[in-house]
């Protein structure tokens, strides 16, 4: 039986979002080992940025992939949309490791 593609997923995540020093702007080329489709992504185009981040989150197998290509500010700002394009295992792994990506707690109004 083949190992799960999710085996070792946590090992590919950075220790903190502060480690994510990827570019905040520009056109970013991805190496063929990560992706064989569109090779350059314009970070000013949010659709391209979400696509690139999905590729890194789901296909980046080396710990430095996230650090090199993801930008913490973009990830946090885009997370409400980004999470919709990720499978549940990826979503949960990232949310569990990084509280900054968890949705705000719902506070019920007082009934007094």
pLDDT of residue 60: 78
Question: What integer best gives the mean pLDDT of the chain?
Answer: 86
Q: Rounded CA gap, 96 and 10, in Å?
A: 10
All residues at 6 or more sequence positions from 75 whose CB lies less than 8 Å from its CB, including other chains: 17, 20, 53, 82, 101
Whether 103 has a pLDDT exceeding 50, the answer reads yes
Q: Which residue has the tokens 């696509």?
A: 51
Q: Which residues pair with 71 in a beta bridge?
A: 21
Domain ranges for the chain, please list them.
12-101
pTM of the model: 0.83
Provide the Cα torsion 83, 88, 91, 92; round to 10°: 150
* 56-99 pLDDT tens trace: 999 877 778 999 999 999 999 999 999 999 999 999 999 999 99
How far is Cα 103 from Cα 44, in angstroms, rounded to an integer? 25
């Amino acid at each position: 039986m083949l190992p799960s593609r999710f085996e070792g997923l946590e090992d590919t995540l950075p220790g903190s979002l502060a480690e994510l020093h990827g570019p905040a702007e520009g056109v970013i080329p991805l190496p063929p080992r990560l992706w064989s489709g569109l090779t350059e992504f314009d970070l000013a185009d949010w659709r391209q940025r979400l696509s690139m981040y999905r590729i890194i989150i789901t296909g980046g197998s080396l710990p430095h992939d996230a650090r090199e290509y993801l930008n913490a500010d973009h990830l946090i700002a885009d997370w409400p949309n980004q999470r919709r394009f990720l499978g549940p295992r990826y979503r949960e792994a990232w949310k569990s490791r990084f509280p900054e990506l968890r949705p705000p707690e719902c506070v019920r109004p007082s009934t007094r």
